[in-house]
Amino acid sequence: MKIAVFFGGNSAERDVSIASGCQVIAALREIGHEVISVDTARGLLTPHEEHQLLEKGVDTTPFDEKSLLITHEQANQLTKATRSKSVDVVFLALHGGTGEDGTIQAFMDLARLAYTGSGHKASANAMDKDISKQLFRYAGVPTADWLMMPVSKQDIIDKIGLPVVIKSNSQGSSVGLTIVKRPEDIDAAIQKAYQHDDEVMIEKYIDGRELTVGILDETALSVGEIIPKFSDHFDYESKYQVGGAEETFPADLSEEETKLVKELALKAHKVLKLEGYSRVDFRFDSKGQLWCLEANTLPGMTATSLLPQSANVLGIDFPKLCEKICQLAIKRFKKGQDKHS
């Protein structure tokens, strides 16, 4: 296959996307595919530009607003880059922002290009935490109580109670997220979340084990457990710095518990109308209750990221996983073409 890998972009998760893109490119080339690299903030990269960009690691903090402004000003030559190279499929190694909220997906649909992951409507629904949680409840997938700003501090305390998680409604990688245990800390946490999004969610904090499961081709993979080392939750630093978290696949769960996690993950995946692959995250409280946190339409894609670990337990190594994701994208694209022919 001839594959264009889209990565970088202009979201706060730009560094994370570059890390994913680096390893996806290497994995696909390793098994014989022709790959071109495209930074969606800059366009098609030369081999030298690719090397310079991909050798950079993930910083300890999200991409800052000043740096994002610089990438916003760069020319975007996405369609030209892919069409001129006659690629079979675009691998979206993007995270957050317009790379994951349905914007780039709608652009790909208009350009009639095959691309990995879910369509634009499903991507938009999954990125919007408020909409996702409403759909989870509709499908019978338990999720913690929540409120959307604006809401008074007293309403937060009366209707949800402390502690709460205050976070941006449409950000990934825990960007802008704060766990608040004291009333006097609520306002600062809300302002922090507003720095990254126009909508802010106040969610009941669920204390318990953090579980995750990958979905590939409508099948739940291995369930894993994440134990953060730098914080009391799986924050940005814990996710992307060496030693930031202990990740165990498969998780130490009973057969019945494992089965339930997989069933709920598939329900979440399907009610959002996701396609190809995803990763669904849960909290497992001390009473044995599972609570769905979110579904990730374009989860991290380094060899040691959670989805690849979830697949590896079942004998799907990283290069084969990347290839399978591309094959599913081409299959979905051809199905759509046949439908409209």
- Let me know the angle formed at the C-alpha of 289 by 101 and 168, rounded to the nearest 5 degrees: 25
- Is the pLDDT confidence value at 309 over 70? yes
List the one residue out of 152, 319, 307 whose CA is nearest residue 239: 307
**The predicted structure's pLDDT at residue 337:** 82
Average pLDDT over residues 205-214: 96
At 30, which amino acid appears? Answer: E
State in words which class domain 2-116+320-339 has.
alpha beta
Positions marked catalytic: 13, 173, 240, 279, 281, 294, 296, 300
Per CATH, the number for 127-142+207-315 is: 3.30.470.20
Query: Where do we find the tokens 């130490």?
Result: 252
pLDDT score of 167 more than 70:
yes
Task: Please tell me the distance from the alpha carbon of residue 289 to that of residue 38, in angstroms, as a whole number.
Answer: 43
CATH 3.30.470.20 occupies which residues in the chain?
A: 127-142+207-315
Look-up: residue for tokens 């007293």?
A: 154
pLDDT at 244: 65
pTM assigned to the model: 0.89
Top pLDDT among 127 and 78 is at 127
Residue type, 152: S
Q: Which residue type sits at 306?
A: L
Higher pLDDT, 72 or 33: 33
Query: Taking a C-beta distance cutoff of 8 angstroms, is the pair 150, 167 a contact?
Result: no
Q: Report whether pLDDT(234) > 90.
A: no
341 Cα distance to chain centroid:
33
Domain 147-204 class in CATH:
alpha beta
Indicate if the pLDDT at residue 59 is higher than 60. no
Is the pLDDT higher at 229 or at 297?
Answer: 297
**pLDDT tens column, 282-291:** 999 999 999 9
